[in-house]
Amino acid sequence: MAWEVDTVLAELTLDEKIALLSGIDFWHTAPVHRLGVPSIRLSDGPNGVRGTRFFNGVPAACLPCGTCLGATWDKSLVQEAGALQGAEAIAKGASVILGPTVNMQRSPLGGRGFESFSEDPILAGTLGASTVCGIQSTGVQATIKHYVCNDQEHERQCQDSRVSERALREIYLMPFMIVQRDSQPGCAMTAYNRVNGVHASESAKLLQDVLRKEWGFSGLVMSDWFGTYTTADAIRAGLDLEMPGPSYIRGELVKQALGARKLLPHDIDACVRNVLNLVKKVEPLGIPENAPETTVDSPETAQLLRNVAGSGIVLMKNEHHVLPFSKEKSVAVIGPNAAFAAYCGGGSASLLPYYAITPLAGIKKKAKDVRYRVGAVGWKNLPLMSGLTKTKEGKEGLTMRVYLDPPETTDREQVDEVYVSKTECFLVDYKHPKLTSALYWVELEGTMTSEETAEYRFSLSVAGTGKVFIDNNLVVDNETAQRPGDTFFGAGTREEFGSMQMQAGRPYKILVKFGTAPTMTFITASATNLGAGGLRVGAEKVIDPKEELAAAVKLAQAVDQVIICAGLSSEWESEGYDRDNMHLPPMSDELITAVTAVNPNTAVVIQSGTPVTMPWLSQTNALLQAWYGGNETGNAIADVLFGDINPSGKLPLSFPHRVEDNPAFLNYRSERGRTLYGEDVYIGYRFYEKTKKDVAFPFGHGLSYSQFEMKDLEIKDAGDEVVASVSVTNTGRVDGAEVVQVYVNQRSPSINRPPKELKGFEKVFLKAGENKQVEVNFPKKYAASFWDEDQDSWIMERDTYEVLVGNSSAHTPLKGTLRFGKRAGGMDCKLRNTGVNSQRLKACLTAERVATQK
């Protein structure tokens, strides 16, 4: 049935309009079938499209995490990755992807830091725009998030991000502005937090004045999930869609607000129009309502994922040319992340991958003689039990049975039976016709058989209540006494433990009894509402850490080459909580120190989304930062280690020596509901360079198996843009890629400004011995101007500006200059319009155009 937005809007009843202001469930908008308006599906998508289910979902392509994408510094490759997400969304029946995330990384401790691209707004905004262009090339609409200053997880729904207007404009709003300018995303998602006293979802300044009026955004604005806190204020501010549904803050309350004239009909119509416009925009996709979820796993998908993951790996250090390793020599693979695929971070970025290649598996495909030892455990929570259990049918995992009544009820009715491959069951989107509320009971059952006689440790964490029984013996109790923890987006308990000696070859009956979230004995007020909640069951054989470390050292001495795979995982970096510190898991540092001491041909591979401390750095010859690499993480790591890929990644954020060195250290986390952005514009490298503070690795750093030379810098005036042109030569023997990074410094500003700020970049691929001329274009306005709080405007001062070019923030050997002048009358250029083609900007620049080169 063909329909038009204006016609439908005129024919909608008030009840239909109100229904369109909220979702109908976790992932779908409301339909109006009598007028031909369908329901459309949204899906999480920072690094892959999960579909409609956290619980027992359909497998998907998992891209590398945001910081890995940021480390590619490759606009075209990131756009390809976005197009892959669009294709995945169509397969999952989704018309809208909830991504990309373009928030700033104030601190290494941010729980969702791995989701974002960079500490620099230009890099984050540029790659965010590439992602959106890729996604929307398929017809699927992207959602930039989280608008704005959602830069920590601690008390994220109530904390007030108190930030100067200058820092807000120059740092935190900038990536969103760039994405809007360069890609026109279909949707924007508001942050959970307040910004200078007002929740982002209720801020007319942010949603109307800046996003729509200044930047020209014409899409739909939705809340983050359960991030709508008021009825009238949010609608008047321009929050079009409350998610998820059913509504808890709109619905009948909208009628009450209309009756009290806190809302007027045109307020409702404005939001409804934006919802209808979005539904109409995705109509050509032809996705039916409640479409089945399918997969598009293919060799082409795998190859693209492998290319992206490999392009983001950063060669941090390579003393004595330890890397690349030989495939013919013996290799020891050691470490907690070796036989474990750390493919993504936790929270809404997590998904069930088509597959996940471990580093050990990838390395075994390359080298002939590979030996393995774990060396040290790296788990925050015990590994999932499901890898050790089987159902009565012999499948790996457990059988889940669902009941409406608690275990003590006689002859209770079983309403469902489901096979679960993982003992981590997040039931927020589990549905069954007989379940009319979030209150019900679950049992997981299976058998576990140990290959050797050993003591095993078991654990249970819940958003609900639960107990673990082995052969009818209570082993773990997370019901009688519960302690708040950070599981399940901060709404769950701490992990509770128990242990048991198990005999080799004997099958043991495993039974887990669980009551859903309403049965919890405490409430975490600041946590997100998770409906039925969930449970996580872990199990691991107890090992002696000293004996295991000694065995790893002995193995390292017996081989030619050693690869240590260490780092973090989705347990350490996740939505719902921030990291406590910057350290690797316990015993990892001791393992790396001991192994590198006995074999100099050791390469350390760190997987994390954000920086970690490296007390062993000075004695380590080779180091890779491999991030969370998605489905192909193990293959990509092996490709770089053995030279099948020449590393070309560059750090998208600075790696400080200690968390105490970070500019946000004294002001991170919420205190009595407020977070002071005391570092102002001095985020990341801007701070380290201003204070001349040493870092472990600077922003933009990344080595190669080849060498590159940049020379002959020319600075050209190209109207509204500046063009930096440089000659780049691959002077080595290996084909590779280099990133030309262009920074700008104002020589004599009237206010404090950073020593340099990234303004543009370009990645260039060169065969051995090849030379190319590389041009980097960037807008004059944002190359020179800063936000003046007195004038509430961008201004450009008459001054000389240095253009600094190199391959990291700390290495910019090429220098050129630009000079910008004043208008007649002697006033500095005042640039209110944020668009690049501002007529006022042109008038300012015509007064004096000088481009010189030292």
Nearest one of 232, 229, 236 to 204, comparing CA atoms: 236
Asked if omega into 652 is within 30° of 0 (cis), the reply is no
Q: Give the DSSP letter of residue 550.
A: H
Residues with Cβ < 8 Å from 51, sequence gap 6 or more?
43, 57, 58, 60, 92, 93, 94, 293
* 8 A C-beta contact, residue 440 and residue 516: yes
Whole-angstrom Cα distance, residue 94 to residue 285? 10
Written as six digits, the tokens of 162 are: 């108190």
Element housing 823 (H / E): none
For 226, counting Cβ atoms within 10 Å of its Cβ (0-12 exposed, 13-18 middle, 19+ buried), the class is: middle
* 8 A C-beta contact, residue 726 and residue 797: no
Q: Give the DSSP letter of residue 223.
A: P
Tell me the backbone φ, ψ of residue 217, rounded to 5 degrees: -65, 130
Give the full edge-to-edge strand order of the sheet including 561-567. Answer: 314-318, 622-625, 602-607, 561-567, 331-334, 370-373
Whole-Å CA distances, 649 to 163, 303, 402, 612, 742: 32, 18, 48, 18, 17
b/e per residue 805-817 (b: at least 16 CB within 10 A): bbbbbbebebebb
Whole-angstrom Cα distance, residue 789 to residue 792? 5
Written as six digits, the tokens of 179 are: 């994405």
Bridge partners (DSSP) listed for residue 450: 504
DSSP string, 518-544: GG-SS--TTSPP-TT-EEEEEEEE---
Tell me the backbone φ, ψ of residue 107, rounded to 5 degrees: -140, 150
Catalytic residue among 160, 224, 240, 661: 224
Whole-Å CA distances, 58 to 39, 291, 292: 21, 13, 10
Question: Which SS3 state, helix, strand or coil, does residue 768 take?
Answer: coil
The yes-or-no answer on residue 233 being catalytic is no
Beta strands per DSSP E along 639-732: 674-676, 708-718, 721-730
Catalytic residues, by residue number, are 224
